[in-house]
Structure 1
Amino acid sequence: MAPRIAVLGCGYWGGNHIRTLNALGALQAVSDANPDNAGRFASQFGVPAVPVEELFTRPDIDGIVLALPAQFHAHYATLAVQNGKDVLVEKPIALEVADAESEVEAARANGRVFMVGHVLRFHPAFEKLLELVQAGALGKIGYVHSHRVGLGKFHTENDALWDLAPHDLSMILAVTGEEPSVIRGEGAALLDHLSDFAHLHLEFPGGIKGHLFASRLNPYRERRFSVVGSKGMAVFDDMEPWGRKLALYRHEVWREGNHWDFKSAEPEYIAVEEAMPLTRELQHFLHCIETREQPRTNGREAISVLRILTAGTVRHPRQD
């Protein structure tokens, strides 16, 4: 029997978790501070709507997915693991590094699985890109850059960096294998005091440099993640159809005398499995509950992401 999972938070992304867990045969209950929200999903999927204050002591629940505003994650994740529940916490897991460290430590002390919802780590195209990197197909990695821009969504608590960048930072950390030693953030706020545009410039101890651009006020959508190595370059473009989501460029660059020369190559499109990242993420969560393995996206990584977000945040004066 699959582990029995409850979802706390029946908003947009919580609804996706609910539908996916139901398809996997693992949905046990739903809960929300607004009983009407939970009631709608409970009726649709034939599971109980459990009041929040009762959720954590239910003996028929093995794990809880937390899809809440970030300021509530640390409190409820700690409550869950202290009551013997494994957790998948959506990003970001907290708004303060100290709170993130506290909830992760609580999970460790209570022997519970603590997984973070960095869903793009489970995208088949990124998984294949990471395989190319680790197999040395791109040679020595020198630069990683990510662009995630579009129009909306607008939040009153999180700026573009905190809302859009965690997934990309998770992928950057997976490629580099280490935290950056230098973090420089730039931001621009057009609507209020929160950055609508955010740049991060990163330098890593091993010599890799990186750049991230996130915007929620952009005229076009872009979801592109690129890795540049000495033997080739790879691009994961999530706006492309499945057959073109991962491209490998075997460009050549060399020095001749006092100048550099190069030869460009046509992209080689790498075949990847067509699968929903959220399904694969939740399958991994269920697997970790059953085997007690450390999740691919664990608390340590989430704290690293939070440190980068904190260091790269630009504060703007409030606009009247």
Structure 2
Amino acid sequence: MTPRIAVLGCGYWGSNHIRTLKSLGALHSVSDVSAARAEGFAAEQDCLAIPPEELFGRDDIDGIVLALPPQFHAANAIKAVEAGKDVLVEKPIALTVPDAERAVAAARANNRVFMVGHVLRFHPAFEQLLALISAGELGTVKYIHSHRLGLGKFHTENDALWDLAPHDLSMILAITGSEPVEVRGEGAALLDKLSDFAHVHMRFASGVRSHLFASRLNPYRERRLTVVGEKAMAVFDDIEPWPRKLAVYRHAVWQDSGQWAFTANEPSYVAVGEGLPLTRELEHFLHCIQTRAEPRTDGEEAIRVLRVLTAGTVVHDTGGRGS
């Protein structure tokens, strides 16, 4: 039987979960501190609207998606798993590593599925990129860089790093298979006390170097992950249309008489099956509930990402959390 899922938090991203779960036949109910907002979605999607204080005690709910401001994620995740519910928590799952660890430990103690919403891990182009790396098509990976730039959204609690970078960090950690041994963050707060630009530089024990650049105050959109290997380079560009989302560049670089030489080749585009990452993510969540399998993006991954976010954060003199 399809698991019955409630969505707590009917904001921008929560609304995407609501509509996608409805399309999958798994939406049971919606909940929000604004009763009017929840009732509006319930009427639109033909489901129940349940007040937050009544949600966790319902026996007719199997799992809960938490799409709240991040400062409320950990406490509600603990409440959910202790009530016997499986949970998918949007990123970031908490604002501190200890809070995240408590939530994950509670899920483990109660034998509950605990999944985090690192949605780009379910993007078909990223899955294909991982397959290329695993097959040795790029050779040994040497460098990874990721750019996630655009205009907005502006949050009162989250800066550019904490709002945008979890997606990229999740992909980078999946490629390297480890946490960095060194993290250095830089940022700039232009509008208020929270950083609008964030750079994070990482070094891994394997020798891989990496950096990410996130901005919510940029005149153009960029969603690009680049992997530099010894044999080839690959670019996952989510702005491109599906036939061009994953490109492989087989450039050649060598030494000739003590001088470096190179040839630049045109990219070859890798065929990628189309699919909406959020739909695939929620299908995976439902599968994990049904089979009790460990999610691809589990609580331990969420903690690893949170550790890097914390290490890459710079506190500005204005008193806000920046990066």
For 1:144, the equivalent position in structure 2 comes to 144
Deviation at 1:262, TM superposition (A): 1.3
Amino acid at match of 2:301: E
For 2:317, the equivalent position in structure 1 comes to 317
Distance 1:319 1:64, change over 3 A: closer
Amino acid at match of 1:145: H
Secondary structure, counterpart of 2:48 in structure 1: coil
Please tell me whether the aligned partners of residues 9 and 32 of structure 1 are also in contact (alpha carbons under 8 angstroms): yes
For 1:13, the equivalent position in structure 2 comes to 13
Secondary structure, counterpart of 2:77 in structure 1: helix
The Cα offsets for residues 243-301 of structure 1, whole Å up to 9 and x where unpaired, read as 10000111111222312211111100111111100000000000000111110001011
Amino acid at match of 2:171: M
For 1:263, the equivalent position in structure 2 comes to 263
The Cα offsets for residues 58-116 of structure 1, whole Å up to 9 and x where unpaired, read as 11100000000000000000000001100000000000100000000000010000000
For 1:176, the equivalent position in structure 2 comes to 176
Secondary structure, counterpart of 2:278 in structure 1: helix
For 1:231, the equivalent position in structure 2 comes to 231
Please tell me whether the aligned partners of residues 150 and 216 of structure 1 are also in contact (alpha carbons under 8 angstroms): yes
Deviation at 1:236, TM superposition (A): 0.3
The Cα offsets for residues 200-251 of structure 1, whole Å up to 9 and x where unpaired, read as 0000011100010000011111100000000100000011011100001111
Amino acid at match of 1:172: I
Q: Percent identity?
A: 70
The Cα offsets for residues 31-59 of structure 1, whole Å up to 9 and x where unpaired, read as 01111111001111111101111111111
Q: Give structure 1 stretches of 5+ with no counterpart.
A: none
Deviation at 1:319, TM superposition (A): 8.4
Q: Give structure 2 stretches of 5+ with no counterpart.
A: none
For 1:119, the equivalent position in structure 2 comes to 119
Does residue 245 (structure 1) correspond to residue 260 (structure 2)? The answer is no
Find runs of 4+ consecutive structure 1 residues off by over 2 angstroms.
317-320
Amino acid at match of 2:194: L
For 1:83, the equivalent position in structure 2 comes to 83
For 1:296, the equivalent position in structure 2 comes to 296
Please tell me whether the aligned partners of residues 30 and 48 of structure 1 are also in contact (alpha carbons under 8 angstroms): yes
The Cα offsets for residues 120-149 of structure 1, whole Å up to 9 and x where unpaired, read as 011111110011011111000000000001
Please tell me whether the aligned partners of residues 253 and 260 of structure 1 are also in contact (alpha carbons under 8 angstroms): yes
What is the CA–CA distance in structure 2 between the aligned matches of 1:16 and 1:220, rounded to whole Å? 24
For 1:63, the equivalent position in structure 2 comes to 63
Amino acid at match of 2:210: G
For 2:201, the equivalent position in structure 1 comes to 201
What is the CA–CA distance in structure 2 between the aligned matches of 1:73 and 1:318, rounded to whole Å? 26
* 1:273-288 equivalent positions in 2, closer than 5 A: 273-288=273-288
What is the CA–CA distance in structure 2 between the aligned matches of 1:316 and 1:222, rounded to whole Å? 26
Secondary structure, counterpart of 1:302 in structure 2: helix
Does residue 22 (structure 1) correspond to residue 14 (structure 2)? The answer is no
Amino acid at match of 2:260: W
Amino acid at match of 2:178: E
Deviation at 1:310, TM superposition (A): 0.6
Deviation at 1:317, TM superposition (A): 2.3
Number of matched pairs: 320
What is the CA–CA distance in structure 2 between the aligned matches of 1:12 and 1:259, rounded to whole Å? 54
What is the CA–CA distance in structure 1 between the aligned matches of 2:157 and 2:12, rounded to whole Å? 17
What is the CA–CA distance in structure 2 between the aligned matches of 1:11 and 1:193, rounded to whole Å? 24
Amino acid at match of 1:154: F
Please tell me whether the aligned partners of residues 192 and 319 of structure 1 are also in contact (alpha carbons under 8 angstroms): no
For 1:189, the equivalent position in structure 2 comes to 189
For 2:110, the equivalent position in structure 1 comes to 110
Please tell me whether the aligned partners of residues 232 and 248 of structure 1 are also in contact (alpha carbons under 8 angstroms): yes
Compute the TM-score of the two structures, normalised by the length of structure 1: 0.99
Amino acid at match of 2:70: A
What is the CA–CA distance in structure 1 between the aligned matches of 2:108 and 2:191, rounded to whole Å? 41
Please tell me whether the aligned partners of residues 193 and 315 of structure 1 are also in contact (alpha carbons under 8 angstroms): no
What is the CA–CA distance in structure 2 between the aligned matches of 1:64 and 1:15, rounded to whole Å? 14
Please tell me whether the aligned partners of residues 198 and 213 of structure 1 are also in contact (alpha carbons under 8 angstroms): yes
What is the CA–CA distance in structure 2 between the aligned matches of 1:131 and 1:265, rounded to whole Å? 22
Please tell me whether the aligned partners of residues 188 and 195 of structure 1 are also in contact (alpha carbons under 8 angstroms): yes
What is the CA–CA distance in structure 1 between the aligned matches of 2:26 and 2:109, rounded to whole Å? 26
Secondary structure, counterpart of 1:75 in structure 2: helix
Compute the TM-score of the two structures, normalised by the length of structure 2: 0.98
